[in-house]
C-alpha cells in the first residue's frame, strides 16, 4: 500500500473527459469552457469533450490516450458514479490501467439537472473537475476483493410475490427460507374472491402454489415468524428469525379442527382477521380452510388459558395427536443466505380517515376488501351479498380513489382500484341485480384485457358518474332518500351537483405501505421513497434492486401493483438474486481501513469502537491491525484515531483534503 501512496506527482499524467450527455449536461453547462479549464490544470496532459462518454467510441478515447499519451490517471466528468463508474473503471482495466486510477466528477445530477443558471452551472462543474483531478492524482492502485457467497436465499413475506419467488428459486435448485409473519401464507390474494379481468377464482389459482411451497424440498417455510436481525452484506447475510409460539406443534397438527370445535367458547370471540372483522373467530382457530401450513394457532390475546391460566382446556382433550402445547416459547433460527428478497406487501387505506364517507358510522359502508369476503363462499355470509340487516341491496355505489390521488392522503394512484372497483360493480350486479353507480375521477384501465373488462361492465348497465363524492350521508331530503345512504357528488360531466340514494356504499380503498415499513427499512438498511414504499435502486433500470447490494424488492412493498405485475416483478427479483448467488462469489469495493504501523501508538481506541470487531492488537508489536475480511469500510476508526495512523482505502486523508482544496481553490 505504502509504496503506491508515495507515487511522485511528476509521474502523474491525468486525462480529463467532459461528457455532453446529449443535452443533459451540455444544455446547461458550457462543456467547452470546462474542457479548456481542465486542460490548464496541473498534471493534466489532455482534456477532451465528447457527446456520450459512456458509448463505445467514448471509452475508446480513453484507451487511445492511455496507449498514446501515457495517461495514467483518468477523470470523467459526467453523471453519477452509481450509473457509470463501473463502465469507466472497466475501460481503464481493458486498457491495462488499474481501475482505481479513476475519478468521476458528477456534473449531471449534481450540476446541470439542479442548477438553473448557466454560468453558475459551468462554474460548479469546473470546481468539481478541479477537485477530481487533485483527488485522482493521489489515487492508489487497488484490487477488488472476491468473497465467496452463500447460495441460499431468504424471502420475507408469503403473499403471492413471496410464494412465486420462492417456487421459482426452489425450482432452480436454490434453497429458500420463506418467512411469513401471519400463521399462514397466501397474503391478500387469499382473501380475494375473484381476480380481474378474467374473474378467475383467486383461491383456485393461488392454493395450488401455496401447497407447492409447503411440499417443495428446497423451501423451508417459517410462518408466524419474523426477521429479528440482519447482519452481513451481499453474499454473506446472517439472519436471525424469531418463530412465535403457535401453542400448537405444527408438525403434529393435521388441521382437523377438533380443537376449534371443542374450545370452551361456543362462538367466535374476536374479530376474524381473514374476514377483515366481518365475522368472529375463537381463540384457537384455522385462519381459513386452505391455510398453509394446515395447522391451527392459538391467539394468546384471547385464549383463557394463556391469559389467565384458568380454562378447562377442552381443546387439549379433543386433540388426538396431543399437538397443543401451552408451554411453547418463541424459538430462534439463524441462517446464512447470499441474497434477500423483500415481499412484505401493503395494507389498505383506512377510510375512517375520510369521515365524510361515513365508514364505521353507517353500517352499510364497506371497503372493497370487505366485499371480497362477503361474496366469497368461505366468507362470513357464505357468499351471500347482503346488507347488515340481512336484506339484499337494491342499489349500490362504488367510490373510486378513496385515499389515493388526494392531496390530503396519498398523491399517488393506487393502480389497482379502478379495476378492483369495476370487479366490485360486476360482482354486485351479478349477485344481487342491484343498480350500481361507480363514482370515478379518471378511469385507468391500461394493461392486457383491462379496457375490455371496463367495456363489459359498461354494457352490463353499471352507471359511471365522473366526480369525487363530497360525502355519504343519511340526511334525506326527499321521500325516496328516506332510509338510504345518499352520495352527494358533483357530476363533472353533467356540470351539476347530484344526490344519489343507495343501499350500500363500497369504498375502493387505496394501497399504502405497511405500518412497520420504516422498521423493516432500518432492519434491512434500505430506503423508502416519499410515499412510504421501499425505494428501488433506479426507477427504470433497477426496479427490483435496492441501494443495499443483495437485497431485492418484489411486489407491493415497492409500490402499488396488481397480481400480474407483482408476479412479474417477483420473477425479476429472483433473476437478480440468482445472478448473485449462482456466481458463488461477490466482489466488494476495496474500501477497507488500514493502520500505518509506524504511526500507531497502540492506544486501542479503534479496537473498542470498531462495530465489526475487525481490529485486533498485535501484542508483539503493540499496535492495532485491521482484518480486511471483516472490515466494512465504515471509517469509524479513521475518524477516531488520535495519531492519524488509521486510513481508509479510496478515502485517504490526502485524497479527501486534495479534493476539498480543488473545490476551494477554484472558488
Partner 1 sequence: MHYLYYPGCSLKATGKPYEESLLAVFRALGIDVDELKDWNCCGATTYMGVDEVQAFALAARNLALAERQASGAAVVAPCNACYLVLNKAQHYVSEYPDIRKRVTRALKVIELEYCGDVNVRHPLDILVNDYGIERIGQEVKQPLAGLNVACYCGCQIVRPYSTFDDQHNPQSMERLLRAAGANVIDWPLKTRCCGAALTGTIPTAGTGLSDLLLKEARRRGANTIATCCPLCQHNLECYQAEGRGESGTLVQTPVVYFTQLLGLALGLKPKSLGLKRMLIALQPPAQATRAVL
Q: Which residues bind partner 1 (CB under 8 A)?
A: 354-356, 471, 473-475, 477
* Cβ-based nearer residue to partner 1, 442 or 482: 482
Rg (CA), the chain: 31
Nearer to partner 1, 109 or 474 (CB): 474
Our CB check for partner 1 shows the closer of 258 and 474 to be 474
Task: Please answer whether residues 569 and 543 qualify as being in contact, where contact means their C-beta atoms are separated by less than 8 angstroms.
Answer: yes
Residue 400 Cβ, how far from partner 1 at the closest point, in Å? 19
Q: Answer left, alpha or beta for residue 111, where phi above 0 means left and psi between -120 and 50 means alpha.
A: alpha
Identity of the residue, 486 or 517, whose beta carbon is nearer to partner 1 in the bound complex: 486
Helix (H, G, I), strand (E, B) or coil at 272: coil
Pairing of strands 615-618, 623-626: antiparallel
35, 136, 189, 559 from 127: Cα distances, Å: 12, 14, 54, 38
In the complex, least distance from residue 355 CB atom to partner 1, rounded to whole angstroms: 4
- Concatenating the DSSP letter of every residue in 537-548 gives SBTTTBSSB-SS
Q: How far apart are CA 192 and CA 248, in angstroms?
A: 27
CA 31/CA 505 separation, integer angstroms: 60
Ramachandran sector of residue 309 (left: φ over 0; alpha: ψ -120 to 50; beta: rest): left
* Least gap, CB of 359 to partner 1 (angstroms): 12
β-strand partners of 229: 240
* Smallest separation (angstroms) from partner 1 to the CB of 473: 5
- HEC assignment per residue over 350-372: CHHHCHHHCECCECCEEEHHHHH
To the nearest 10 degrees (0 to 180), the angle between helices 563-583 and 160-171 is 40
Reply yes or no: is the peptide bond before residue 293 cis, omega within 30 of 0.
Answer: yes
Residue 418's Cβ-side half-sphere holds a number of Cα atoms within 13 Å equal to 20
Q: Which of 114, 477 has the CB closer to partner 1?
A: 477
DSSP label at 536?
P
Give the side-chain half-sphere CA count within 13 A for 543. Answer: 14
Of 60 and 480, nearer to partner 1 (C-beta) is 480
The CB-of-476 to partner 1 minimum distance in angstroms stands at 9
In terms of DSSP bridges, do strands 365-367 and 623-626 run parallel, antiparallel, or are they unpaired?
unpaired
Q: For partner 1, give the closer residue by CB, 408 or 613.
A: 408
208 or 355, CB closer to partner 1? 355
- Nearest distance from C-beta of residue 497 to partner 1, angstroms: 13
Minimum CB separation from partner 1 for residue 468, in Å?
13
Q: Which is nearer to partner 1, 360 or 644 (CB)?
A: 360
Q: Select from 393, 445, 405 the least CA-distant residue to 421.
A: 445
Nearer to partner 1, 53 or 487 (CB): 487
- Cβ atoms of residues 174 and 153 within 8 Å: yes
Q: How far is the CB of 421 from partner 1 (least distance, A)?
A: 22
Instruction: Rank residues 242 and 468 by Cβ distance to partner 1 and give the closer one.
Output: 468
Our CB check for partner 1 shows the closer of 478 and 653 to be 478
CB of 362 to partner 1, least distance (A): 10
Residues 6+ apart with CB under 8 A from 119: none
CA dist., res. 509 & res. 515, Å (int) = 16
Evaluate whether 111 touches 128 at the Cβ level (below 8 Å). yes
| 8 vs 408, beta carbon nearer partner 1 | 408
- The angle, 0 to 180 degrees and rounded to 10, between the axes of the packed helices 417-432 and 450-459 is 30
Contact in structure between 573 and 553 (CB atoms under 8 Å): yes
Q: How far apart are the first and last CA of the chain?
A: 33
Q: How far is the CB of 358 from partner 1 (least distance, A)?
A: 8
β partners of residue 48: 17
Evaluate whether 204 touches 222 at the Cβ level (below 8 Å): no
CB 202 within 8 A of CB 194: yes
Min CB(367)–partner 1 separation in Å: 19
Give least dist CB 503 to partner 1, A.
18
Angle separating helix axes 56-68 and 81-94, nearest 10 degrees: 40
Rounded to a whole number of angstroms, the minimum distance from the CB of residue 475 to partner 1 is 5
Pairing of strands 145-148, 585-588: antiparallel
Smallest separation, CB 418 to partner 1 (Å): 25
Amino acid at each position: 500500500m505504502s509504496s503506491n501512496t508515495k507515487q511522485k506527482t511528476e509521474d502523474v499524467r491525468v486525462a480529463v473527459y467532459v461528457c455532453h450527455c446529449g443535452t443533459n449536461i451540455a444544455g446547461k453547462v458550457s462543456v467547452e469552457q470546462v474542457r479548456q479549464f481542465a486542460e490548464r490544470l496541473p498534471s493534466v496532459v489532455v482534456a477532451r469533450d465528447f457527446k456520450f462518454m459512456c458509448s463505445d467510441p467514448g471509452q475508446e478515447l480513453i484507451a487511445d490516450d492511455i496507449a498514446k499519451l501515457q495517461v495514467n490517471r483518468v477523470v470523467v466528468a459526467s453523471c453519477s458514479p452509481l450509473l457509470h463508474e463501473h463502465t469507466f473503471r472497466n475501460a481503464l482495466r481493458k486498457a491495462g490501467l488499474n481501475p482505481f486510477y479513476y475519478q468521476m466528477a458528477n456534473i449531471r445530477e449534481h450540476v446541470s439537472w439542479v442548477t438553473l443558471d448557466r454560468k453558475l452551472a459551468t462554474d460548479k462543474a469546473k470546481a468539481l473537475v478541479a477537485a477530481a483531478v487533485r483527488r485522482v492524482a493521489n489515487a492508489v492502485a487497488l484490487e477488488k476483493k472476491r468473497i465467496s457467497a452463500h447460495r441460499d436465499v431468504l424471502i420475507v413475506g408469503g403473499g403471492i410475490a413471496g410464494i412465486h419467488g420462492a417456487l421459482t428459486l426452489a425450482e432452480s435448485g436454490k434453497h429458500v427460507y420463506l418467512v411469513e409473519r401471519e400463521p399462514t401464507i397466501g397474503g391478500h390474494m387469499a382473501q380475494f374472491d375473484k381476480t380481474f379481468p378474467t374473474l378467475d377464482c383467486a383461491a383456485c389459482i393461488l392454493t395450488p402454489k401455496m401447497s407447492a411451497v409447503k411440499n417443495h424440498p428446497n423451501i423451508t417455510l417459517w410462518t408466524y415468524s419474523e426477521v429479528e436481525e440482519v447482519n452481513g452484506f451481499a453474499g454473506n447475510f446472517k439472519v436471525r428469525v424469531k418463530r412465535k409460539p403457535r401453542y400448537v406443534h405444527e408438525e403434529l397438527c393435521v388441521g382437523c379442527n377438533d380443537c376449534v370445535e371443542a374450545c370452551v367458547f361456543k362462538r367466535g370471540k374476536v374479530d376474524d382477521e381473514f374476514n377483515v372483522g366481518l365475522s368472529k373467530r375463537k381463540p384457537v382457530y384455522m385462519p381459513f380452510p386452505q391455510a398453509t401450513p394446515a395447522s391451527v394457532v392459538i391467539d394468546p390475546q384471547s385464549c383463557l388459558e394463556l391469559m389467565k391460566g384458568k380454562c378447562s382446556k377442552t381443546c387439549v382433550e379433543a386433540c388426538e395427536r396431543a399437538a397443543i402445547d401451552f408451554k411453547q416459547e418463541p424459538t430462534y433460527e439463524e441462517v446464512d443466505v447470499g441474497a434477500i428478497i423483500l415481499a412484505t406487501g401493503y395494507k389498505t387505506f383506512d377510510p375512517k380517515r375520510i369521515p365524510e364517507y361515513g365508514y364505521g358510522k353507517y353500517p352499510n359502508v364497506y371497503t372493497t376488501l370487505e366485499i371480497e369476503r362477503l361474496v366469497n363462499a368461505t366468507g362470513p355470509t357464505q357468499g351471500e351479498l347482503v346488507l347488515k340487516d340481512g336484506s339484499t341491496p337494491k342499489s349500490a355505489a362504488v367510490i373510486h380513489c378513496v385515499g389515493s390521488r388526494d392531496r390530503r392522503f396519498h398523491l399517488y394512484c393506487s393502480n389497482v382500484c379502478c379495476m378492483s372497483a369495476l370487479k366490485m360493480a360486476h360482482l354486485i350486479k351479478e349477485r344481487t341485480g342491484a343498480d350500481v353507480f361507480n363514482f370515478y375521477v379518471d378511469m385507468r384501465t391500461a394493461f392486457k384485457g383491462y379496457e375490455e373488462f371496463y367495456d363489459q361492465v359498461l354494457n352490463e348497465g353499471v352507471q359511471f358518474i365522473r366526480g369525487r363524492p363530497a360525502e355519504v350521508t343519511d340526511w334525506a331530503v326527499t321521500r325516496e332518500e328516506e332510509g338510504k345512504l345518499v352520495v352527494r357528488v358533483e357530476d363533472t360531466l353533467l356540470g351539476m351537483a347530484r344526490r344519489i340514494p343507495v343501499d350500500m356504499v363500497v369504498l375502493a380503498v387505496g394501497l399504502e405501505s405497511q405500518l412497520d415499513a420504516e422498521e423493516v427499512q432500518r432492519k434491512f438498511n434500505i430506503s423508502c421513497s416519499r410515499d412510504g414504499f421501499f425505494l428501488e435502486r433506479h426507477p427504470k433500470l433497477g426496479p427490483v434492486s435496492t441501494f443495499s447490494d443483495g437485497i431485492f424488492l418484489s411486489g407491493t412493498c415497492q409500490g402499488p401493483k396488481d397480481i400480474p405485475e407483482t408476479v412479474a416483478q417477483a420473477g425479476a427479483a429472483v433473476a437478480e438474486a440468482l445472478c448473485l448467488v449462482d456466481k458463488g462469489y461477490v466482489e466488494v469495493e476495496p474500501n477497507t481501513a488500514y493502520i500505518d504501523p509506524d504511526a500507531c501508538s497502540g492506544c486501542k481506541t479503534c479496537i473498542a469502537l470498531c462495530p465489526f470487531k475487525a481490529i485486533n492488537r498485535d501484542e508483539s508489536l503493540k499496535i492495532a491491525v485491521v482484518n480486511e475480511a471483516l472490515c466494512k469500510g465504515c471509517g469509524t476508526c479513521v475518524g477516531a484515531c488520535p495519531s492519524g495512523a488509521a486510513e481508509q482505502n479510496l478515502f485517504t486523508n490526502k485524497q479527501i483534503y486534495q479534493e476539498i482544496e480543488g473545490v476551494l481553490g477554484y472558488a
